[in-house]
Structure 1
Amino acid sequence: MADQLDAQTLRLVFQSRPDILAGIQKAADTPARTALFNDIASFVHEQLSTAEPQNVPTAKRRRVDIAQLPPHTQPNGHTQVTVLPAGTLPAALSADAAAADPVLLEVKDISVTAPQRKKYDLCFTKSFLYARASGTSVPVQGIVYPWKDIEHAFYLPVPDKSQTQYNYVLLPRDSYLPTAKQASTNANDRQQPLEPLVFTVPATAPKPGSIGGPSAAAAEPVSDTYSSLFHWALVTSMRSAGNHACQLVASDPKLFHSVARQPHRPGEKAVHVKAFRGSKDGFLFFLPTGILWGFKKPLLFLPLDRIVAVSYTNVLRTTFNMVVELDTDVAPGDVSNAPAIEKEVEFGMLDQEDYQGIDETYVRRHGLADRSMAEQRKAKRQLAENHRKPAAAGDEAAAGEDDANGLTALERAQREAEQQLQDEEDELEEDYDPGSEGDSEGEGGSSDDEDEDDDGEAQDDEEEDDGEDDEVGSMED
């Protein structure tokens, strides 16, 4: 009806902006305005539903889940399911929400290398980090990152460059683990996760006039270099958005460094090793929180708490391969159609000179070759995940919540193990019999039992039995 708002379409188009929805409902106080808002919502919905991004093959189209996109029922009763390119609607809504969020800090002319290779202006808002082309005010779709969704952040030197440069690597949730190619027959039905963001900065100070926004004055004291500026901006923004779990991790030559000499920067220790992932060449970084392979797509990060074991294959005179076995269990609370994780990941053609450093300095130090340590890491990861995503009341299996005694699943397991060990020790003490169990109970000794012992032990047992008999007699008196 013309005098009623099309609530279904409005919710779909503005689901990320409840404030806009509330404003429309308040302003739709006449039939003319109501009809206008309905026309606007229908037009935007039609544009989003039929939009075809440039360079997106038809094969990447996917059928949107009915739960995410309400179907339109035709007059004949048939249901029309809208078909969209993968990620189009969520990306559009995310970009719309980011565009409406006031920019607090802007850093111009930053070299982004993933998910696209181009220079962009990076914009920091209260809820988002996004890229936009110079001279525009519209975020680039696919390069819009909610602060709350960033799970890992790294600061790494760029290899094989004569001038010192650094890469910032931001990994959103579900973007960094290797997924099996045959993960699911319904892979096209899943909303595609954000790709990792990688951008490069020089070791120099920002160019004059490249920093803008209301927070530019607050950023001035930390703008001696690009690195100090982005360290401050990233950490401050994530904390302000409530993301306290993600830490900005830097490579540490004290934790690991290659013995190979860098021809481009000979005075600097290399914190990476060259390696192949299939036919693609890249670099392995052995970091305090896990192993990163970059910077070719797809980037991989293998957290320590996901690694079950590390082994070596194809050991030749100058090279070897490294196989990392992963825990493939999904996190508690994950949806059932989450992409399957590869069980093993192999990196090839590592230099033999780096074997000792990798194996002794990193793998063994972190217990990555010990499966018992892997179980402990898994338990800690699950405990942390349960803490971040508590389950609904009553769902004990999914959340690992405390039991009636206030113990977590990990603490219960530790207590059960300690109790089992104590029970075994008690059983051993009870089973230990020097040959005079009957005497200790006041029933007298058996010469047959004593004959089974050797001569020396029998003599010692007799002396102990005499003392025990005296004690028993005193107690009976």
Structure 2
Amino acid sequence: MAVQLDAQTLRLVFQSRPDILAGIEQAADTPARTTLFNDIASFVYERLGSADTQDGPASKRRRIDIAQLPTHTQPNGHAQGKVPPGGSQTAALSADAAVADPVLLEIKDISVTAPQRKKYDLCFTKNFLYARASGTLVPVQGIVYPWRDIEYAFYLPVPDKSQAQYNYVLLPCDSYLPTAKQGSTNAGDRQQPLEPLVFTVPATAPKPGSVAGPSATSAEAVSDTYSSLFHWALTTSMRSAGNHSCQLVASDPKLFHSVARQPHRPNEKAVHVKAFRGSKDGFLFFLPTGILWGFKKPLLFLPLDRIVAVSYTNVLRTTFNIVVELDTDVSGDANTVIEKEIEFGMLDQEDYREIDETYVRRHGLADRSMAEQRKAKRELAENNKKPAAGDEPAPEEGDADGLTELERAQREAEQQLQDEEDEDEEDYDPGSEGESEGEGGSSEDDEDDDDEDDDDEAQGNDDEDEEDDAEGLED
């Protein structure tokens, strides 16, 4: 059988150089040359856009820098010599590859909230999910996601909405952990990971005519709601592309829910708690695979397998903070460092027990609230060491009856305040206060009273002696 040129791979690699494509087609006049050109195209494509299997998993991809590539004009509209958003040629290659991949399913007018806030049409291909503006055929730069790169996917209700709405959250590799940039390396000289994709759908069915593409007939059977449609489309697309590790995870009030009632939907249990990260307000979702904070940028996800411990700090009467300690031993980009501790503030005290018992303890996460390094931050009188004999009173009954660290710390803080009040009461001397106001008798008066008592006693003795003498005379 005659050897054929791999036209698709050649177009992906040399789409911006039609002269090279024409030269290859003319020169491929023998099976040996055709095979050689195919091998070269395959190698270049893998070198530019695929994972280096010798260096590790998909999350550690080795990519070719834009500075090492030709600076001619790109077919997606980038000017000559300019670096496309994302800091590497990989973003442009992904867009080119996505355009070359036939659209299997298109869902129109979807509200995307991250990485950009706008309505787009979402296109599903064999290898990609991307957004494009209505009436265009070009993917939006920065919103092109290879199915194999998606590591986590979530389906969550949108908080504080009177009408039920749901967010789909897709997290590509290296896009969800809190990071701090290091070094002075130019941002354009290194690969930037894709940002998380977040889009919102209502609880209703898709509008007529909003679903198109060759797979629209199959999608019609699962289009009772937007949620059922996207559940099917996302799951089948990832599986078809070979991504079997990513599971679409939904929040479940049976696994975790807030004690506080939602004012907008009071009959529905809230699966989130309000929290702050720095000055930004947001929501914490305690999910089966980790803790998600959203939906403001930068969105964070802390996988359970990366959480070392949690701690409760800044405990007040109505609020407290939670600090999540992460495992940072997993190396990543040399210019990026994962933050070791992430603090979320102003959580409602009513939600503490649910968080601690239902989530932290259930998943076996260590509670380091009473660790030495947290004493100053907590500002609570807590001693981790056992007290010496006689230094402190014996603990009351119930101290070891399963109280949590936070409850024990609160009780000891209250006990400290009570002890201080007791000391103030012991120092108070009402007698001394009376003397200062002229009340009460003086020491001289006390001595005079004592003398009078002695005189009275002596007089009583003389009377008794006289009575005895009188009785003797009568006898």
TM interval, shorter chain, is 0.5 to 0.7
Once residues 337 and 156 of structure 1 are traced to their aligned partners in structure 2, the CA distance between those partners, rounded to angstroms, is: 33
Secondary structure in structure 2 of the residue aligned to 1:305: helix
Please state how far the C-alpha of 1:15 moved relative to its aligned partner: 3.5
Q: Summarize deviations over 1:227-285 as a string: whole Å, max 9, x none.
A: 00000000000000000000000001111100000010011000000000100000000
Contact persistence 1:275–1:281 (CA under 8 A): yes
Contact persistence 2:66–2:83 (CA under 8 A): no
Q: What is the correspondence of 1:59-98 to structure 2 with a 5 Å cutoff?
A: 69-70=67-68, 84=83, 86-87=85-86, 89-98=89-98
Instruction: Show the counterpart of 1:111.
Output: 111
Instruction: Show the counterpart of 2:359.
Output: 362
Q: Which runs of 5+ in 1 are unaligned?
A: 1-10, 31-64, 74-80, 372-477
Please state how far the C-alpha of 1:87 moved relative to its aligned partner: 2.1
Contact persistence 2:14–2:21 (CA under 8 A): no
Distance 1:186 1:330, change over 3 A: farther
Contact persistence 1:98–1:128 (CA under 8 A): yes
RMSD: 2.9
Contact persistence 2:171–2:196 (CA under 8 A): yes
Amino acid at match of 2:180: A
Please state how far the C-alpha of 1:186 moved relative to its aligned partner: 2.7
In the alignment, structure 1 residue 191 sits paired with structure 2 residue 191? yes
Amino acid at match of 1:27: E
Instruction: Show the counterpart of 1:350.
Output: 347
Amino acid at match of 1:341: I
Amino acid at match of 1:171: L
Contact persistence 1:16–1:94 (CA under 8 A): no
Report how many residues are paired. Answer: 317
Contact persistence 2:10–2:21 (CA under 8 A): no
* Shift >6 Å, 4+ stretches: 16-22
Once residues 347 and 108 of structure 2 are traced to their aligned partners in structure 1, the CA distance between those partners, rounded to angstroms, is: 38
Secondary structure in structure 1 of the residue aligned to 2:338: coil
Amino acid at match of 2:185: N
Please state how far the C-alpha of 1:17 moved relative to its aligned partner: 7.2
Distance 1:192 1:21, change over 3 A: farther
Amino acid at match of 2:68: P
Instruction: Show the counterpart of 2:312.
Output: 312
Secondary structure in structure 2 of the residue aligned to 1:230: helix
Please state how far the C-alpha of 1:24 moved relative to its aligned partner: 4.1
TM-score by length of 2: 0.62
In the alignment, structure 1 residue 282 sits paired with structure 2 residue 282? yes
| Sequence identity (%) | 79
Instruction: Show the counterpart of 1:395.
Output: none
Once residues 230 and 22 of structure 2 are traced to their aligned partners in structure 1, the CA distance between those partners, rounded to angstroms, is: 38
Secondary structure in structure 2 of the residue aligned to 1:91: helix
Secondary structure in structure 2 of the residue aligned to 1:92: helix
Distance 1:135 1:217, change over 3 A: same
Secondary structure in structure 2 of the residue aligned to 1:15: helix
Q: Which runs of 5+ in 2 are unaligned?
A: 1-8, 29-62, 72-79, 369-475
Instruction: Show the counterpart of 1:435.
Output: none
Distance 1:98 1:19, change over 3 A: farther
Secondary structure in structure 2 of the residue aligned to 1:142: coil
- Choose from 329, 333, 337 the match for 2:334: 337
Once residues 271 and 94 of structure 2 are traced to their aligned partners in structure 1, the CA distance between those partners, rounded to angstroms, is: 36
Once residues 19 and 325 of structure 1 are traced to their aligned partners in structure 2, the CA distance between those partners, rounded to angstroms, is: 50
Once residues 294 and 162 of structure 2 are traced to their aligned partners in structure 1, the CA distance between those partners, rounded to angstroms, is: 19
Instruction: Show the counterpart of 1:218.
Output: 218
Once residues 128 and 364 of structure 1 are traced to their aligned partners in structure 2, the CA distance between those partners, rounded to angstroms, is: 39
Contact persistence 2:14–2:20 (CA under 8 A): no
Instruction: Show the counterpart of 2:175.
Output: 175
Once residues 203 and 259 of structure 1 are traced to their aligned partners in structure 2, the CA distance between those partners, rounded to angstroms, is: 24
Q: Which moved more, 1:336-345 or 1:139-148?
A: 336-345
Instruction: Show the counterpart of 1:205.
Output: 205
Contact persistence 2:170–2:196 (CA under 8 A): yes
Once residues 201 and 299 of structure 1 are traced to their aligned partners in structure 2, the CA distance between those partners, rounded to angstroms, is: 19
Instruction: Show the counterpart of 1:148.
Output: 148
Q: What is the correspondence of 1:123-138 to structure 2 with a 5 Å cutoff?
A: 123-138=123-138
Q: Summarize deviations over 1:412-463 as a string: whole Å, max 9, x none.
A: xxxxxxxxxxxxxxxxxxxxxxxxxxxxxxxxxxxxxxxxxxxxxxxxxxxx
Please state how far the C-alpha of 1:28 moved relative to its aligned partner: 4.0
Secondary structure in structure 2 of the residue aligned to 1:104: strand
Q: What is the correspondence of 1:13-52 to structure 2 with a 5 Å cutoff?
A: 14-15=12-13, 24-28=22-26
Secondary structure in structure 2 of the residue aligned to 1:283: strand
Contact persistence 1:86–1:191 (CA under 8 A): no
Contact persistence 1:187–1:339 (CA under 8 A): no
Instruction: Show the counterpart of 1:166.
Output: 166
Q: Summarize deviations over 1:44-66 as a string: whole Å, max 9, x none.
A: xxxxxxxxxxxxxxxxxxxxx97
Instruction: Show the counterpart of 1:413.
Output: none
Q: Summarize deviations over 1:340-397 as a string: whole Å, max 9, x none.
A: 10000000000010000001110111111169xxxxxxxxxxxxxxxxxxxxxxxxxx
Please state how far the C-alpha of 1:330 moved relative to its aligned partner: 1.9
Amino acid at match of 2:96: D
Which has more radius of gyration?
2
Please state how far the C-alpha of 1:96 moved relative to its aligned partner: 1.3
Please state how far the C-alpha of 1:324 moved relative to its aligned partner: 0.2
Secondary structure in structure 2 of the residue aligned to 1:167: strand
Instruction: Show the counterpart of 2:74.
Output: none
Distance 1:82 1:20, change over 3 A: closer
Once residues 199 and 102 of structure 2 are traced to their aligned partners in structure 1, the CA distance between those partners, rounded to angstroms, is: 22
Contact persistence 1:223–1:229 (CA under 8 A): yes
Please state how far the C-alpha of 1:177 moved relative to its aligned partner: 0.2
Amino acid at match of 1:84: V
Please state how far the C-alpha of 1:72 moved relative to its aligned partner: 7.4
Q: Which moved more, 1:85-94 or 1:126-135?
A: 85-94
Secondary structure in structure 1 of the residue aligned to 2:200: strand
Distance 1:244 1:66, change over 3 A: closer
Once residues 17 and 288 of structure 2 are traced to their aligned partners in structure 1, the CA distance between those partners, rounded to angstroms, is: 42
Contact persistence 1:16–1:93 (CA under 8 A): no
Instruction: Show the counterpart of 1:4.
Output: none
Once residues 111 and 324 of structure 2 are traced to their aligned partners in structure 1, the CA distance between those partners, rounded to angstroms, is: 32
Instruction: Show the counterpart of 1:467.
Output: none
Amino acid at match of 1:354: D
Contact persistence 2:104–2:214 (CA under 8 A): yes
Once residues 128 and 72 of structure 1 are traced to their aligned partners in structure 2, the CA distance between those partners, rounded to angstroms, is: 25
Instruction: Show the counterpart of 1:229.
Output: 229
TM-score by length of 1: 0.62
Secondary structure in structure 2 of the residue aligned to 1:286: strand
